[in-house]
Structure 1
Amino acid sequence: MAARLRGRPAHAPGPTFLSYTPNGKKLVTVGLNGALRVFQHGYDGEPATIDVNTEEHLAVAAANDWFLVGTEDGSVTKYSLVTNQMEEMLVRCTLPVRDIALSPDGAWAAVSSDEVEVKVVNTQDMTQVLYLREHRRPAKNVSFDATGSTIAVSCTDGIVYMYSISSQTPQLLKRIDGLIKTTETESDTNTRVSWHVDGRAFAAPTATRDFQVVARSDWSHQKAFKGGHRGDITAATWSPNGALLVTAGADKSLVLWETKTQSILKSFDDVQNVILEMAWHPTENVLSYTNNNGELFIREDFVPGVHAKLLKIVLQPAPFNNDPLSDISGNAQRPMTNGLKPGTHASENDYIDSLLDDAMSEDGADFIEDDDGAGYAEEPNRHGKRVANTIEGRQAKRPVQQAIWQPKIHESFQPGSTPWKGNRRYLCLNLTGFVWTVDQETHHTVTVEFYDRQEHRDFHFTDPHMYDKACLNEKGALFSCPPSTRHPAVLHYRPHETWTSRTDWRTHLPAGEQVTSMSLSDSCIVATTSAGYVRVYSLFGLPLKIYRQKSMPAVACASWRDYVMTVGNGSIGGDGRTRLLYTIDNVKRDESCQSEDVLPLPEDVELKSVFFSDNGDPCIYDTAGVLLILHHWRTPGQAKWVPLLDTKTLERLAGGKKEESYWPIAVANNKFHCIILKGGEEYPYFPRPLLSDFDFSIPVSASTAGEEDDKETTHQKTLEEQYVRACLQHSLHMDLLENTNATHAQRQEVPTLEREVDKVLLQLLATECREGEEHGMKALEIATLMKDRTGKMLEAAGKIASRFHRDVLGDKIMQLAERRLVGLVSDDDV
C-alpha cells in the first residue's frame, strides 16, 4: 500500500534534525526553538517535550538512555531519556556546532564545529578528549565506522580525512580528495561519509550529485548511485542490512535505491521541503526524516510492495566492481548448510574473514584483532600497561559475521487483520462481517458490522483494554489484548445470542504471557501465546486443553468445528530461513491428523493467511498470490497441498495492464473470496472495500492468454484443468463423508460430483477422437477414468467414438463397459 506519511510540526520553521535510539524505541528531534522532542515509536500521541534555555539546535545523536545536542552557541549537552532532564555539559566549542557522531558502543562522541579541530569526547568522562587537527578547514560532518576505531571527517575544503583513534594519539590514515564538493558549514548540502554496514566500504555525495562508493582497503572508487537527483544531495542513509539506500536532494526529491544493482526502486514526489536528516528504524519498514521547515515525517511501510522483503534478508555486501564477497550475499540464491556453502571448507571462510580484517585499514597492520584473547594485539598505554588495540582498551566490534548468518524467523500474525493506517485498522475481515477499531489515544472504539443485518445487528463499544486481535463468526465475536501495566493479557468472548443473563466472558492469561494469534470455530476457541502454549477453550469459557506447541515461535492458527490447525517456526533451512511447520489436531477426540508437517512455501515466499474452507478443509494463501488447499489431511502422513488458484495468472492481469494484488477472505461455494488491492497497496483500508470472488483455476499448464488463434489447444487445456479440479473436489468430498457424520444432503452430492468428472472426460474423449485414429489409445485411457458404475457414461463414450467413425475404439469401450458391469475388472487393472 502507499507509504504512511505523517507530517508533524515538531519545531519552529528552520533546520531540523533527528536521531533514533539504537533500539528503535525513541526518536529525538531538535530545531530552532527552545524545545527538544522525544517521540515514542509506534505511539501516535504527543511527544515528550524537554524545555531548554538554548535555541538554534543544529545537531543531535542518541544512545538508548540519553542523547547529545549541539547548539549555535557551541555547547554540546547531554540529556537523559529516562528522566527527560539535562545531565551535564559534555564539551564546549567557541563556534557553532555542526555535527555530532556517536561511536557504535556510545562511549565516544565526535563533535565538529566552525572551529578547525574536531573534538572526540568520552561520553562518560568529559576529561578524556582527543583532538583531530590534520585538516586545515572547518569540518562540516563527521562519522564513525562500524568498529568505532575510524572517524571520517568531511571538511569544507572538499577533502575527506580518515583518522584512526585506536591509540591515544589519533593518526591520519588518508586524505581523500575529489570525493565531496567544497561547501560552507551552514549549507544544506550534505558531505557526510556513510559507512556501509558490512564495514568494507563507505560512500559520500559527490559534486556531480551522485553517491559514490569507496573501498576501505585501497580507497578505490567502486560503484556509484547515479541519476537520482537534479540538485545536491542533502541526506543519505543505508538500510540496517545494507540492502537499500535512500537519498534526498535539494530539488526536494526522495529516492529509494537497491544496493546490489544501484537501480532506483521508487522516487517519491510528495516531498514539500528540503530534507536535512534521515534515519531508518533499526528493525521495521519505517523511514523518518526532518526538513528545513521544522517538520518531522514518519513514513511507515516506506519500502513499497514486493521490495519490502529486501529489508528482511541478511546483511548485504557493499556494491563493489568485482566483489569477492558476492557469494555471501543474501540475494545469491545458493543453498547453505550450517552457514557453509556445499563444498566450502573452514579455510574458505577464514579467507573471507581475512578480507574483512584487511579492509579495516590502509595496510591492515594497525587493525589486528585479538580473537582468541592471547594478548598479541595489545599495545602499551601511557602508563606502560598493555591494553587491547582500541580506545583505552575498548574492544573494537566486528558484528559482520554474526549478522550474515542470523536466521530469519517468520513473525506471528492474526489472519484477517491489518496494521494501523492513521488511527484505524481492521481486526477481522471475513464472510460473516468485519471488525475495526479506532485509536482515541486514551482508549479504542471497536465497531462490529455484519453483511447479513437481518440475522445479526451491528454493535459498537468503547474499548479501554485496547484490543489488538479479533475473530468473528455466526455464533459470536472474540477479542484479545496484550498485557499492560494495568492488566494482563485478556481473552474476551461475546456471543451474538444467549438465553441466560450472562452475555459474555473474559479470562486473563498468566503474567507476561500474551496472545500471538487466535481463532474461533462453532465449538471452541484457540489461542497461541508468547509462552509457546496452545490454549483451547469452550465457547462458554471452560479451559479444555493446554499444551506446548512443538514448533516455536508460533505464527498463526485456524479452527473449524473441533479441528485446530497451528503453524509455527521449525528448523532452519539451507537458505538461513526457518521452515514453517503445521499441525492439525481434533481437540474433542484428542487425535492428531497431521503433526509437524512442513508448509511448502517457495524461497522468498511467506505465509499471508491460514483458514478453513466452508467445507472444513485447511487453506493457505502466500505472498506469491497462490491459494492452496490441503488434500487427505485427515489421514496421518498423506496430506498434500494442492494449488487451487494462482492469482498472477488471472485473465484480468494479462498484458500487464493492471497492477493489483488480493487480500484473502475465505474459500466458500467453490470460489476464492478476496478484496482487490489496487496499485502497490498491501492491505485494505477505509472506506470498507467490496468483496470479490474468483473461480478456482488449478495451474495445470501454461497460461493460454496468448493462444486465442489456437482455439483447439486452448479448449483442451481448459478441459484438462476442469478434470483435475473436478477430481480434487470429488476426493475432498469423499474424505469429508468418510470422516464425519455426513448429512443426507452431503451424501446425495456424491453422484453429482461424479457426473461432473465424467462430463469433462466425455468432452476430452471427443477432443481426442477429433484428432484422429492415432489418439485412440489416449481416448481409451480417458474412458477407463470414468467413475460411473451404471455403464451410462461408457455407453455415451461409445456413441462419441461411433460418431467420429472410430470403430475399433468403440468396440474396446463397449468391452470395457460389459466387463465393468459384471465386475470382472477394476479401473486399475485396465
Structure 2
Amino acid sequence: MPTPTLSDAWYAHPPGSFALCSVDDGKAVVTGGLDTVLRVWDTTQPFPLSAKREFVRPESITAVALADAQDVFLAGTSDGVVTMHDFETGDQRKTLVRFDLPLRAIAFTTDGKSVVCAGMDGLVKIVDLDDAQNVSTFHGHDGPILGLAIDPKGELFCSMDWSRCWKVVSVDDCSVVHDGQGEDGGLVDAESVFNFGFSSDGSLLALPGKTFVRIVERSNWNVLFKLGGEHTDMVLSCMWAKNDQYIATAGRDKTVVIYDVPAKACVQKIVMEDLPICICWKNAGNVGSVVIGDTSGELRVWKDCVTLDGISASTGNKIGGGVMGGDGSGDVGESSRAGTSRMDDDDDVSDQELKQSVFQMASTPEDDTQRYLYWDMTSIMTYDDKGTHAVIEVEFLDGRAKNIRMNDHFKPSMGAVG
C-alpha cells in the first residue's frame, strides 16, 4: 500500500457549500459555489492550481455534472434552474428544466441522452437533452432529496432524501423498484449533500449511513454488509474507485477514509481541518488519489492513497455468491430470503415513515423533536427541541443573507420570515 500525502490547498469558492464533479479519472474537475461561478480545473497541472476556465451564472451553483465526452456540462442553481453549457466557451445552450426549490443533484443517464435532476422540493425529473422535454417525474419522496446515483446499466437511478430513505426507480417509467427504509436519528439538515453510487457494473450500490456505509446487492436489494468503525458521525460521501475494490468516504467528523471492499477493512484514513463536503477519485495509471472539497471553500488532493490493482468487488470473487452477514460468513437470514433489506442489529433502521409530509406553509407536527416552523420559496425555519431549550435555524434559499442559528427557551410553535 502506498504512503499518501495531502497536497497544499487551493482556493475554489467562498466558504460554505459547493458542488463538484469529475470525469476522465478525475483529471478534469468542475466546481460551482455560492459565488455563482463555475470553475474548470485540470488536476494534472502542477500545484497550486489555477482555474482553467471560469463561467459566471446569475445564481449560486448547487449542483454540477460533466458529460463523459467533455463537450457539455450542466449547472443547477439555488433558484431551481438546470442549464446546459458548452464546455469550452461556457455559453448557455439551453434551459432544461425548472424546480420550485434549489437543485441538489444532477446526473447524466448512461447513454448520455437524458439528465436526471433532484431537488429540495422532493421531486426527481428526467429530461431529454435534445428537446429539453420533461420525460417523467418521480414523486416518491416526502422531503428534500440530497443525493442521486445513476445505474451504469442505464436502467435505474437511486435517490436519497433527508430522512435517509432511499428509492431505486426505473428510468423508463419512474416506477419504484425498491423502497429503502430510512434510519433513526432525526432529519438531515437541508444543506447537506449525499454523494454515493453504483459499482462500475451496477451489481452493488454503496449508501451512506449514520457512521457507516451500506453495501447493497442489486439482485435483491439486500444489504450484504456495512463498512464502518472509523467514522464517529454521519457519512456524507461514499465513492467507488474505478476497479470497484475501494470506496472513499467522507463524514461529518471531518474524516476521510478509504475502505478495501472485499476485505471489509480500512486501508487509509485522514482527519481534515474542515468538513469535507464533496470528494471524487483522481487516478494516474494504477495509483488512486482523492480530490477533497471542504467548507472552507478549498480543494486538496490526497495523493497516492491506493494501488488500483486486484480483484473487483463487484465480480463477487472475494465476496462470494451468497449474501454475507456482518461477519462475512455468507449466512442468509430469514429477511434476506423474503427479499427485504436486512441490516445488522445495531444499524438502527426505522420501520416508520415520516408522520406528515414536510412541505407545508405553516408549522408541522413535531417528529423526533423536530418540526418546521415556516417554509416558503426563499427560506426555511426549523425547530429542534433540546429539552431545556429549542434550537431555531433559518436557511435562506436565495442566498440573500447568511443562515441563522439561535437558541430559544420559549419553544415557539410557529414562525415567520419577513
Question: Same fold by TM (over 0.5)?
Answer: yes
Q: How does 1:743-762 map to 2 (within 5 A)?
A: none
Query: Does the CA-based 8 Å contact 2:26-2:281 persist in structure 1?
Result: no
- List per-residue Cα deviations over 1:295-336 (Å, max 9, x = no partner): 111233233xxxx2xx0335332779962299xxxxxxxxxx
Kindly state the Cα deviation for residue 62 of structure 1 after the two structures are TM-superposed. 0.8
- Identify which of 19, 36, 56 aligns with 1:52: 56
- What's the % identity of the aligned pairs? 24
- Equivalent residue, structure 2, for 1:65: 71
- Mark the CA change 1:58 to 1:35 in structure 2 (over 3 Å): closer, same or farther: same
Query: Does the CA-based 8 Å contact 1:241-1:315 persist in structure 2?
Result: yes
Query: Does the CA-based 8 Å contact 2:259-2:265 persist in structure 1?
Result: yes
CA distance in 2, matches of 1:19, 1:35: 14
CA distance in 1, matches of 2:273, 2:24: 28
Q: How does 1:147-296 map to 2 (within 5 A)?
A: 147-166=153-172, 169-178=173-182, 183-184=187-188, 186-188=190-192, 190=194, 192-207=195-210, 209-269=211-271, 271-281=272-282, 284=285, 285-296=288-299
CA distance in 1, matches of 2:322, 2:92: 45
Residue type of the alignment partner of 2:225: K
- Mark the CA change 1:151 to 1:297 in structure 2 (over 3 Å): closer, same or farther: same
- Equivalent residue, structure 2, for 1:316: 313
Q: What secondary structure does 1:317 align onto?
A: helix
Q: How does 1:642-661 map to 2 (within 5 A)?
A: none
Residue type of the alignment partner of 2:176: L
- Mark the CA change 1:5 to 1:105 in structure 2 (over 3 Å): closer, same or farther: farther
Q: What secondary structure does 2:16 align onto?
A: coil
CA distance in 2, matches of 1:214, 1:321: 16
RMSD: 2.6
CA distance in 2, matches of 1:105, 1:113: 22
Larger helix percent: 1
Kindly state the Cα deviation for residue 178 of structure 1 after the two structures are TM-superposed. 3.8
Q: How many residue pairs are counted as aligned between the two chains? A: 317
Larger radius of gyration: 1
CA distance in 2, matches of 1:236, 1:189: 11
Query: Does the CA-based 8 Å contact 1:254-1:267 persist in structure 2?
Result: yes
Q: How does 1:112-511 map to 2 (within 5 A)?
A: 112-166=118-172, 169-178=173-182, 183-184=187-188, 186-188=190-192, 190=194, 192-207=195-210, 209-269=211-271, 271-281=272-282, 284=285, 285-303=288-306, 308=307, 311-313=308-310, 315-317=312-314, 323-324=320-321
CA distance in 2, matches of 1:189, 1:18: 11
Q: Which segments of 5 or more consecutive residues in structure 1 lack a partner in the other structure?
A: 327-361, 363-830
Kindly state the Cα deviation for residue 181 of structure 1 after the two structures are TM-superposed. 6.3
Q: What secondary structure does 1:95 align onto?
A: coil
Larger strand percent: 2
Residue type of the alignment partner of 1:312: D
- Equivalent residue, structure 2, for 1:74: 80
CA distance in 2, matches of 1:103, 1:235: 20
Q: How does 1:345-744 map to 2 (within 5 A)?
A: none
Kindly state the Cα deviation for residue 78 of structure 1 after the two structures are TM-superposed. 1.5
Asked if 1:8 corresponds to 2:10, the answer is yes
CA distance in 1, matches of 2:262, 2:318: 11
Query: Does the CA-based 8 Å contact 1:277-1:291 persist in structure 2?
Result: yes
CA distance in 2, matches of 1:212, 1:318: 17
CA distance in 1, matches of 2:71, 2:159: 26
Query: Does the CA-based 8 Å contact 1:180-1:204 persist in structure 2?
Result: no
Query: Does the CA-based 8 Å contact 1:222-1:321 persist in structure 2?
Result: no
Residue type of the alignment partner of 1:88: K
Q: What secondary structure does 1:161 align onto?
A: strand
- Equivalent residue, structure 1, for 2:356: none
- Equivalent residue, structure 1, for 2:332: none
CA distance in 1, matches of 2:104, 2:144: 10
Query: Does the CA-based 8 Å contact 1:116-1:133 persist in structure 2?
Result: yes
Report the TM-score, using the length of structure 2 for normalisation: 0.70
Query: Does the CA-based 8 Å contact 1:108-1:123 persist in structure 2?
Result: yes
Residue type of the alignment partner of 2:274: N
- Equivalent residue, structure 2, for 1:37: 39
Kindly state the Cα deviation for residue 185 of structure 1 after the two structures are TM-superposed. 5.7
- List per-residue Cα deviations over 1:739-791 (Å, max 9, x = no partner): xxxxxxxxxxxxxxxxxxxxxxxxxxxxxxxxxxxxxxxxxxxxxxxxxxxxx
CA distance in 2, matches of 1:111, 1:91: 9
Residue type of the alignment partner of 2:130: Q
